[in-house]
Chain A
Amino acid sequence: MTSLLEINQLSVKLQSKLILQQLDLNLSAGEILGLVGASGCGKTTLLNAIAGFAKPCAGSIQLDNRLISDSEQFIPAQDRHVGMIFQDYALFPHLSVKQNIAFGISDYSLSEQEARIDSLLALLKLSEHKDKYIHQLSGGQQQRVAIARALAPQPKLLLLDEPFSNIDARLRNELMLEIRQLLKQLNITAIFVTHNKDEVFTFADKMAVMAHGKILQLDSPTAICQQPNSWQVADFLQLGTWLSCELKKNELDTAFGLLTLTDTEYDLVKKKQQSVDGSSQKLVMLIKPQYLEINEDNPANACVEHISVTEQGYHYTLASLSPNDTAKDKVSFYSQQLLTIKEKIALKVNPHPILVYSQ
């Protein structure tokens, strides 16, 4: 597959603060990328840089083999053929549905305009609302109008800025599937920004996790969840809870006991421990609840801090109790057994393929 969007070493400064730092990103034609990251990580700025609203201070952006931004040239937004769906849709309140959709194709001939509008109205099931004004429409309908308007001029790339955040939770999933199907049907390349990682799995082909102006990991959502490449990625995606650990010979020492490592695992952990300057790094292990078990023979090493009820039984937040451990680890744990708050129990970690990161 050919690359539609190529971003190289992109840096953007806003009010003398570096928002994007030498960011690289490649996207193939027809792919939908979900961009996640904590707020303030630079997601919106990246969209703005691609759309032409933020001027980069370094790096380049190529769209469909055309250079749209580098240190010398900066193609204005209106000439980039990039479409965008805004979080609040940014529909023109002074125009009707039809006029909103026609807005970007006024240079088409009238018959072409009509045809294009009619097909979009039909595609998005808006035909009966075409003469209404925006404030007469529901949130979902408004979003459809926003999509129709963005698609009308046939953009090469569609940007979606938190498009589902204003949609009622019950309708959201349905709408996402519908729009995904539509984008796929039209073979549209899209980047969509969200702070809700769950949306990515439903909507996107690929996922990019951003932090501090950089993309930490870019891969399919499943690959990222199985092999998060850093502590930040795993933490942001809330793939499990964190347990501090120390390498002792070929074993890993945790508050809930020792874990034996395989040779490859040992090499990996050893490498993580070595920091750039040679000093040893603090290690944490990603622990998922299913690998934890109550071991009644051992002395108590954890204490119940929080209890809630879920479909999988009781969910507990447990704090580690080891005496020399100043930073208490908090882990998630599911059990059918009812414990009381502040109750002390003994936990053990079952052997499993371990994921260790330096913090």
Chain B
Amino acid sequence: MIIPVLIMLVDGIDASTQLFGHLWQTVLPSYLKNTILLGVFVVLLSLFFGVSSAVLISQTNILFKQHLRWLLLLPLAMPAYLVAYLYTDLFDYAGPVQRTLREWFNWQSPNDYWFFDIRTLFGAAIMLSLVLYPYIYMLTRGAFEQQDQNLMRASRLLGLNVKQTLFRVALPLARPAIAVSASLVLMETLADFATVQYFSVNTLTTAIYDTWLGYGDMAAANALASVLMLLILFVIVLEQRGRAGLRHQSARPNMQKDLIQLSSIQQLLASIFCWALVILGFALPFALLIAMAIEYSNVEQLTRLLDTGVNSVKVSVIAATVAVIIALVLGLYQRLHGHKFRHVPQQISGFGYAIPGTVLAMAMLSTFGPFDHWLNDVAEFLAWQQPGLILSGTIFAMIFAFVVRFSAIANGTIASGIKQIPQSLDYAPATLGMGLTKTITRVHLPILKPAVFVAWLLVFVESMKELSAVLLLRPFNFETLSSQIYQLISDEMLEQGALGAILIVLFGLLPIILLNRKREH
């Protein structure tokens, strides 16, 4: 799985220095600056949204707590490119908000008033944060709930009130979880090609596109993509160091505890804050989609939707299944084999998540293209019928890209599932005369069923949303929901694809609802 990335890196080495020099002298510094600023802004804003909502939900007596608890996760179901499109459309000069304002106040031109420009770095950062903060919310809230109740009590007995305890104990202890989730957000931001484009924000991604498609210099593009990869790798290393500190967790989860008592005005403000996140990150864009769907839907769209929907589901099901099988094999291998480098395969496979979809697609073509050629040459030599491009020209390449990209999710989920199986269960069946294969099929797999289910679902949903790899790798006459929506969006005709977009969002809601229900019981 690492091969495509290696090939990309090697390709990048002999990049033309001339083009690089030109880019460096002209636009690359601004692109880099934008990339870094975007990363910083998105992380800061997501931290603000995510950590404060996690604190409000798990540490205070906020109103509507039971509802907000899971509602705050909903923005995860919104693909960033959809939210980006809907909001630029809404807040643009020509959009309904500014139009209405102009009508009300009888303004004639942009010189008559000030309105924030959504198509800026900061606008993009806000939009991305609105859909990415749930990662931080989810992990931070989880960390709070896992914290040892006695640590909080010890702090109270040492004279600190609930609020002081939050800042001096609970938050510092949640730091590793916050760091991990922030790095996830950063990776998503750096890897996002489609979203920043709507905001006319030029990042390293733009440079990759320009060099590849504009200047037609694949090698330089590969080199730039490698730079992006290095940035992301740096984030991963930070993340793993953060995770190393995640040692202290308790078997006594912090369920019944003293909450920070907010005054009624504070309670009101706090709930308004959380509701605003839910509404801006999910409810409003979703409502816009529904309004579009009601206005523009027709029978022809529905039949087309059926075709593309089936395609989407098909590739996502295959990708999810393959990813889960690989994760199971790797996880069990790591568990049941004792040697020193046993966890290396799993770690490497995790990098895939950090590779932007387009970069990955490029790498796939570089990898499977030659392999296909070799296959055809062999067939020709053996005087068999030539198979054609059965790897790079079929859904195989697409599915492979999905699996590489989303393996990390499946691995993480299943690895934590495996961790929860007591070590003694690895050995107990042997004492009952059960072989290794039987042990796995009769003991580990049944116990892992819930983890497998969750992993499958997460990969499935991510594959439904994935766009860049689909655009570059799909075979003839093959559209998925995401590629179709993207094309409509790029022609500013999302109305025609609103139904499909709703479908993607609804699929995205599935794991949130199911995971939430699992947690409650």
| A residues with CB within 8 A of B | 51-53, 76-80, 82-84, 86-88, 90-94, 103-104, 107, 135, 149-150, 152-153, 155
Contacts and interface: CB of A to CB of B under 8 A. Distances in A.
A51 B158 CA distance: 11
Contacts of A152: 158
B161 interface: yes
B163 to A, nearest CB: 10
Residue among B151, B161, B168 with max Cβ neighbours from chain A (10 Å): B151
Contact of B150 (A79, A90, A104): A90
Nearest to A158: B157
Contact of A76 (B158, B161, B169): B161
B156 A77 contact: yes
Given A93-B248, A104-B158, A77 B153 contact: yes
A117 to B, nearest CB: 13
B150 A153 contact: no
B173 to A, nearest CB: 6
B157 A82 contact: yes
B318 to A, nearest CB: 44
A86 B154 contact: yes
A78 B160 contact: yes
Contacts of A135: 247
30 contacts: A51-B153, A52-B156, A53-B153, A76-B161, A77-B153, A77-B156, A77-B258, A78-B159, A78-B160, A83-B157, A83-B158, A84-B153, A86-B154, A88-B148, A90-B150, A90-B151, A90-B153, A90-B154, A91-B154, A92-B155, A93-B173, A94-B172, A107-B159, A149-B154, A149-B158, A150-B158, A152-B158, A153-B158, A153-B159, A155-B157
A78 B151 contact: no
B335 interface: no
A98 B172 CA distance: 17
A86 B158 contact: no
A94 B156 contact: no
Nearest to A84: B157
B247 A77 contact: no
Contact of A86 (B153, B159, B175, B248): B153
Contacts of B150: 86-88, 90
Contacts of A86: 150, 153-154
Given A84-B154, A150-B158, 15 more contacts: A53-B258, A78-B157, A82-B157, A84-B157, A87-B150, A90-B153, A92-B155, A92-B169, A93-B248, A94-B172, A94-B173, A94-B175, A104-B158, A149-B158, A152-B158
A154 B286 CA distance: 58
For chain B, what secondary structure do more than half of its interface residues adopt (helix, strand, loop), or is it mixed? helix
Contacts of B175: 94
Nearest to A51: B157
Contacts of A153: 158-159
A129 B159 CA distance: 25
Given A76-B156, A77-B153, A104-B158, A90 B148 contact: yes
A36 B155 CA distance: 26
A315 to B, nearest CB: 33
B447 to A, nearest CB: 27
A78 B153 contact: no
B511 to A, nearest CB: 32
Residue among B150, B157, B158, B169 with max Cβ neighbours from chain A (10 Å): B157
A88 B252 CA distance: 11
B26 to A, nearest CB: 47
Interface in B125-169: 148, 150-151, 153-161, 168-169
B345 to A, nearest CB: 29
Nearest to B168: A103
Please provide the 5 A-B residue pairs with the shortest distance between their CB atoms, ordered closest to farther. A104-B158, A90-B150, A77-B156, A93-B248, A90-B154
A92 B153 CA distance: 11
B348 to A, nearest CB: 29
A234 B504 CA distance: 69
Contacts of B158: 78, 83, 103-104, 149-150, 152-153
A84 to B, nearest CB: 5
A52 B169 CA distance: 19
A155 B151 CA distance: 18
B292 to A, nearest CB: 49
A150 B150 CA distance: 13
Nearest to A82: B157
A98 to B, nearest CB: 14
Residue among A77, A79, A84 with max Cβ neighbours from chain B (10 Å): A77
Interface in B206-247: 247
Contacts of B154: 84, 86, 90-92, 149
Contacts of A107: 159
